[in-house]
Structure 1
Amino acid sequence: MISNEDGVRVTVEPGGRVIVQSGEQAVIRHDDRGRFDREGRDVRERQTRDGGREVTVATRDGGEVRTIYDPNGMMIQRERRDRDGRAYVLFDNRSFGPGPVDGADWQPVVRLPPPVYDLPRERYRVEMRSAPPRYVEEALTAPPLVDVQPRYTLDQVIYSPDLRERVRSVDLDTVTFSSGAWIVEDSQVASIEAVARGIDAALRRNPNEVFLVEGYTDAVGSVVDNLSLSDRRAEAVANVLTDHYGIPPENLVTQGYGESYLKVQTEGPERANRRVTVRRITPLLATDSRQ
């Protein structure tokens, strides 16, 4: 652990996970290259002029995906090129609001009023165990609940619950974890199929969709441990979607939220809180830093 005079504590874990704590707030970042290295994919990496990295991965359809990282490991941009050389920006993370990332207007958290909608709650926050499959697909293909203008950076979406609440979500309550565990059990893989079908339906319409896979824990354990554990849970579900159902890794973004947003309000152990949620965030994302 590294601490500075401002009271910011940084925990660096093997595998590229970095947890930054400031007071009561803590966030986790990770290197997602491991999700692309699977199945022997051709992965090329080079250093950029500013000390960052550019990682290019060959895709199954003959194209490639390029992800640019800054010197601190933050994803700056992800671009997909098809076999004909046409380029599509999946997300752009180079600007926070009106100012540059290192400027005075830097603001990763966007505050917005709650969205007003007339959907039944079970179609806004879909719970896999009780919902019909059509609700799952609908949640993963539907437009946002309210108009979203302007579009936002990936980090703003990841760190702003007010933004994420503007799109529907699917709670994978068919996949929960034992305390301290993050591996998806073989017996649970089939229960993810409805989500995979919903994502696949969206990708057939638009191959440039982006889905956020969110991991959570219960309130037992330290903030650092829970952030790391939840991040691994999100990654594990994303890997199942890719390995078992063929969802391209470039269309998935994973993020751990630790014990934030408990489903069951308890400080004790609770399996229902050790969960993963998926939502389509494409309508929230800027694909060009000038937007």
Structure 2
Amino acid sequence: APQPARAPEADAPRSEAARQAARERRAARAAALDEDSKGEVVEQRITRENSRSSDEDFSTSLRDALQPDDQRQARQQARNDDDDDNNDLAKALLLGLGAVAVGTYLNNNRQVALSAPDRVVVTRPDGSQELIKDDTALLRQPGSTVATENFDDGSSRTVVTRADGSRVVTIRDADLRVLRRTLVSPDGTRTQLIDDTAEVEPVDIATLPAPAPVATPGIYQDEAALREALRREVDIDRRFSLGQIRSIPEVRSLVAPVNIDAITFDTGSAAISPDQAKQLSTLGKVIQDAIAKNPREVFLIEGHTDLVGSDAANLALSDRRAESVALALTEYFQVPPENLVVQGYGEQFPQVRQDGDVRENRRAAVRRITDLLQTAEAQ
């Protein structure tokens, strides 16, 4: 089926997460933002054995994660018995180094819809679903050391130190949202990539410009066209937080997505074979060139699924697929992982609006969100 030129986000139902992100204005607060504060540090050296590569699937399949087992029920019972112990969900996450506080997710009437070691999907009161995952997973590359400092308020500061002496510092709040990401070069130069700590303007969705036209299918192999599509400026006189870009479809669609048609995933799988990864060479070169020219460039890699399977499983699967694309760009084409943001959207924004096993809907896409991010303005 030919791909429609309209944005898949057009006419999408507005979720509670989108409405909340649109209202948000307060500046973020977290103990981890205070450079003088000290937390409990866990350090880990990253090797091939304890990192994930793009050609392998996740060690737990989503099918396993969806099987209710006695242990999970026992854990749920223990959680019900002890309301103070909000870390059980965090333990289920096992994000890289183990428990990270995500206690607030158990309040606010959120129900756990799926719990796998690397992703948790919660359902909000309006029925929409939200993904909780480790946004530093991409940075866990062999040869680096990862030190995570956890604070009493649930916030954390993760410092990834690489063999060349460069460091990537990521600060997250208790909800695991990235508040700030900074690249510190070996010579001490600091490049702010993400900064969600400032007060933000609420978003009046009705006054936003129309979505950018969707890039032509097949463009990812044509270097000049791809460069042009990803470089297109956004004509809007304000900036947004990363949270607003991730959660509000109308904000995200201000920049055109480029569908990565080269990559097709097996049903239920998030692995990319080396042969398929080679198909990403043009995209890898264009992104790498852009970052070499401007180290503050940030690209959003999105994952989408068809409508087969449960919402929660599709949301987690789409996020894992986006992570695989980002890993492949890093492994094969040396794209710096700190300049990539990964987000799965499950079955919410189908390219072709029909039920069932539709190949066009099992897709990954990339957007250059540099011009939308409030950090770009701060520099």
Gaps of 5+ in 2: 1-71, 77-104
Q: How does 1:215-234 map to 2 (within 5 A)?
A: 215-234=303-322
2:121 is aligned to 19
How many residues matched? 276
Contact 1:210 1:280 in 2 (8 A): yes
1:134 is aligned to 224
Cα pair distance change 1:55/1:5, threshold 3 Å:
closer
The Cα of 1:40 is off from its aligned counterpart by: 2.4
Contact 1:55 1:68 in 2 (8 A): yes
1:143 aligns with 2:233: yes
How far apart in 2 are the matches of 1:140 and 1:62?
30
Cα pair distance change 1:63/1:215, threshold 3 Å:
same
Gaps of 5+ in 1: 99-106
Cα pair distance change 1:58/1:238, threshold 3 Å:
same
1:115 is aligned to 209
The Cα of 1:112 is off from its aligned counterpart by: 4.5
The SS at the match of 2:272 is coil
1:125 is aligned to 215
How far apart in 1 are the matches of 2:198 and 2:308?
36
The Cα of 1:48 is off from its aligned counterpart by: 3.3
The SS at the match of 1:198 is helix
The Cα of 1:114 is off from its aligned counterpart by: 5.7
Spell out structure 1 runs of 4+ moving beyond 6 A: 1-6, 288-291
TM-score scaled by structure 2? 0.66
The Cα of 1:84 is off from its aligned counterpart by: 2.1
2:139 is aligned to 36
2:292 is aligned to 204
How far apart in 2 are the matches of 1:88 and 1:214?
24
Contact 1:139 1:170 in 2 (8 A): yes
Q: For residues 115-148 of structure 1, give each alpha carbon's deviation from its aligned partner in whole angstroms, at most 9, with x where no partner exists.
A: 358x8x5xx424336762211111222322x124
1:58 is aligned to 161
Contact 1:128 1:170 in 2 (8 A): no
The Cα of 1:113 is off from its aligned counterpart by: 4.5
How far apart in 1 are the matches of 2:188 and 2:221?
41
Give the % identical residues: 34
Contact 1:126 1:135 in 2 (8 A): no
1:282 is aligned to 370
The SS at the match of 1:44 is strand
How far apart in 1 are the matches of 2:165 and 2:216?
35
1:177 is aligned to 265
Contact 2:298 2:339 in 1 (8 A): yes
The SS at the match of 2:375 is coil
The Cα of 1:286 is off from its aligned counterpart by: 1.4
2:177 is aligned to 74
The Cα of 1:14 is off from its aligned counterpart by: 3.2
Alignment partner of 2:325 out of 229, 237, 241: 237
Cα pair distance change 1:110/1:290, threshold 3 Å:
farther
How far apart in 1 are the matches of 2:146 and 2:108?
39
Structure with higher strand content? 1
How far apart in 2 are the matches of 1:56 and 1:130?
33
Q: For residues 133-189 of structure 1, give each alpha carbon's deviation from its aligned partner in whole angstroms, at most 9, with x where no partner exists.
A: 211111222322x1241x111110001111111112210011121221111122211
Alignment partner of 2:188 out of 85, 88, 92: 85
How far apart in 2 are the matches of 1:271 and 1:114?
31
Letter in 2 for 1:246: Q
Cα pair distance change 1:11/1:24, threshold 3 Å:
closer
Alignment partner of 1:268 out of 343, 347, 356: 356
The SS at the match of 1:284 is coil
Letter in 2 for 1:115: P
How far apart in 1 are the matches of 2:353 and 2:224?
29
